[in-house]
Amino acid sequence: MRIGELARATGVEIETVRYYEKSGLLPEPARQANGYRAYSARHLERLAFIRHCRALDMPLADIARLLDFNDHPQSDCGDVNTLIDAQLARVRARLASMHALEAQLAALRARCREPHATQECGILHELVAAAHGEACACHPAPGRGGAGHADPRVFAADAEAPERPGRCDNQAG
Amino acid sequence: MRIGELARATGVEIETVRYYEKSGLLPEPARQANGYRAYSARHLERLAFIRHCRALDMPLADIARLLDFNDHPQSDCGDVNTLIDAQLARVRARLASMHALEAQLAALRARCREPHATQECGILHELVAAAHGEACACHPAPGRGGAGHADPRVFAADAEAPERPGRCDNQAG
DNA sequence: GGTTGACCCCGTAGTGGCTTCAGGGTTTCC
DNA sequence: GGAAACCCTGAAGCCACTACGGGGTCAACC
């Protein structure tokens, strides 16, 4: 099985397959006489597994660990739970902030229904007002002490990040 | 106002402030005799605006365009609408796929309640089965024709991406 | 046998939005 | 006067790819 077939069979792009190999997720396949990669059924299986986990938005490092568990069935699977829990926590945190985000954007969009000069644009006025610290959905208090902005980092950090100083104690206004 | 004060006032990290300057979002400030950056109220305002837009998860390129509209109040604001609409569409598409994701992860997690050997781990079994093409929440059909996996690219592409061949017609099994 | 086109190889660089690092200088406080 | 806090710059690292450049291989067709 050549790389193109493998790619078609799993729905993973050829470049991505080579990338997984380089990153150590997919073992190096045998080579044909001409240097082409020759994949086995085991590769197909493993790549499909990776693909599925990626569809679950897991980081490659976590997938590597799952593959490792899979390769060593004797080990305790407690860490699998932890791993899935962490992923679930990440997804839920993201989901929560994205709901807030959607509400804000929808409200923002409602401020401007028809074309007009930018000067009177409700959207820009709202954004500027919010930036000034006036009330808005994600930025309630005009000075200090409010819940403040949703932290942009929530998409990257959250759940298992080591503690860091907050960035949301907005004092402008 | 030095960079540290600006950073504290807006809740943006110092490095990020410099990064925004380098990317052209924030105009270069004046310098003190010792070379330190000296920011004005206008910078504070602009950075707060950027921060607010980033909290709305807008790409920096879009923010640059909003700032440009803001700087030219005479222009028509139709593009502001388009921009917010695109952002809203992106967020909604992401939300939808994240909801599906959460359901899958929760179902997966339910397969494994207590510690045991990896060999009997319901989570791994489910993942492997799914990768094999057997039924699972995101991968219903055992061969072809199902809705297939959620496309990982949905987080990057979606809404306004140019048409591309689908990657989800999984034929493994 | 020459050409076309599909397929494959490799290494490197680019994406976005930062973050970190290395290696310095300046200011402030005790 | 020495330590700590602050500031500077440029470059590299992060993630998970994606794209590019420049080449080799192979089967089919004229």
Out of B53, B98, B106, closest to residue A98 by CB: B98
Query: Model confidence at B26, in pLDDT bands (50, 70, 90)?
Result: very high
Please report, as a single letter, which amino acid is at residue B20.
Y
- Report how far residue B26's alpha carbon sits from residue B44's, in angstroms, rounded to the nearest whole number: 10
User: What CATH architecture does domain B3-75 belong to?
Assistant: Orthogonal Bundle (1.10)
Contact list, B152 vs chain A (CB under 8 Å): 54-55, 57
Phi, psi of A74 (to 5 degrees): -80, -25
Q: Which of A59-63, B36-40, B106-110 has the highest mean pLDDT?
A: B36-40
Contact list, A121 vs chain B (CB under 8 Å): 69, 77, 80
What is chain A's percent helix, strand, coil content, to nearest 5?
55, 5, 40
pLDDT tens-digit readout, B97-119: 788 778 878 877 887 766 666 66
- Where helices occur in chain B by DSSP H, the ranges are 3-10, 14-22, 41-55, 60-71, 78-110, 122-132
Rounded to two decimals, the pTM is 0.69
Which part of chain A is CATH 1.10.1660.10? Answer: 3-75
- Between A68-72, B85-89, B168-172, the lowest mean confidence (pLDDT) is in B168-172
- % of chain B residues with pLDDT over 70: 68
3-state secondary structure of A114: coil
Question: Protein footprint on strand D: which nucleotides are under 7 Å from a CB?
Answer: 6-9, 15-20, 25-26
